Amino acid sequence: MRSLSKDLKQMGLDVIYSRDAGRYLCDFVYYCSLHHGHVRAAFIHVPASGSMATPDRLVPLLQTVIQAMLKQLEALQTAKDHMTTVSKTPEDPTMATSGIVHTGDDP
């Protein structure tokens, strides 16, 4: 998320990376998503509606943030797919080995 925050700032978006979701309900929702989801989770604070937080401003901003997060997840999945653990089991079980298979242009 830190690198994502940096990328979004370079795009001109006003974002702040933090490991603190805030207090009370925000922190509770974030904690529960991490605890019960057993997967990656992110919490995005959206400002209360007002002159600076109109839907016309927030919707494109949130779309950009979510698209950037999805691109980052796709990149992680692609990297993970390129490194697959393979187990070989020859006739003699004492000769079984495990290794990492590199696909594509990987050495």
* pLDDT value of residue 84: 58
Q: Higher pLDDT residue, 106 or 26?
A: 26
Q: Provide the b/e sequence for 34-54 (b: ≥16 CB within 10 Å).
A: eeeeeeeeebeeeeeeeeeee
Confidence of residue 64 (pLDDT cuts 50, 70, 90): confident
Q: What is the pTM of this model?
A: 0.60
